[in-house]
Amino acid sequence: MPRQPDAAHARPDGVDDATVEATGTFGEAFEWIVRARGALYTFHQEMGRADLLVGEGIDKLREAGQDELADELETTWLGRNAIQDRWTFEIVEDFDRTYFDVATDCERRVREQLVEGRHHVHEAEMKAARRQDGPTGD
């Protein structure tokens, strides 16, 4: 006999399959947005590390007596904007304010209005349908 989802993930009374599936789709979309945001933070951190290394390289050029090239790189490369008028922290902040915060609110509203705020109802039902009584795999 298939198991039932735990209470935190159970389908609320009166919620149909189409609603659970739609809610699950929004949840999956939000998970992809979270991943994209993570990639953006990775970009932010990688660019920051690269800029620190450029600074170290400039210092090493100066130690090697290559002041003219060090001056040029300090002016053209060190601390340069990643895109027009923006360092990467500003890109991350703009993304959060413009898109991520709105997506977070919308995904939460979908869950609150349709499945009593529960997370992963669709996935919990998939898990329950695929598991039989017996070993839990823990």
> Is residue 19 scored above 70 in pLDDT?
yes
Percent of the chain with pLDDT over 90: 81
Kindly report the length of the chain: 138
Q: Average pLDDT, stretch 54-81?
A: 98
- Indicate the domain borders of the chain: 17-130
For residue 109, pLDDT over 70 is answered with yes
Determine the pLDDT at residue 133: 63
Distance, CA of 127 to CA of 3 (rounded, Å): 8
Per-residue pLDDT tens for 7-16? 889 999 999 9
C-alpha distances in angstroms, 16 versus 19, 75, 108, 126, 127? 5, 62, 19, 15, 18
Q: How confident is the model at residue 6 (pLDDT cuts 50, 70, 90)?
A: confident
- pLDDT given for residue 36 in this prediction: 98
Q: If 0-12 CB within 10 Å is exposed, 13-18 middle and 19+ buried, where does residue 10 land? A: middle
The mean pLDDT of the chain is 93
Whole-number Å distance between alpha carbons of 113 and 44: 35
pLDDT digits (tens, 9 = 90+) for 73-89: 999 999 999 999 999 99
Q: Region 46-59: what's the mean pLDDT?
A: 98
pTM over 0.85: no
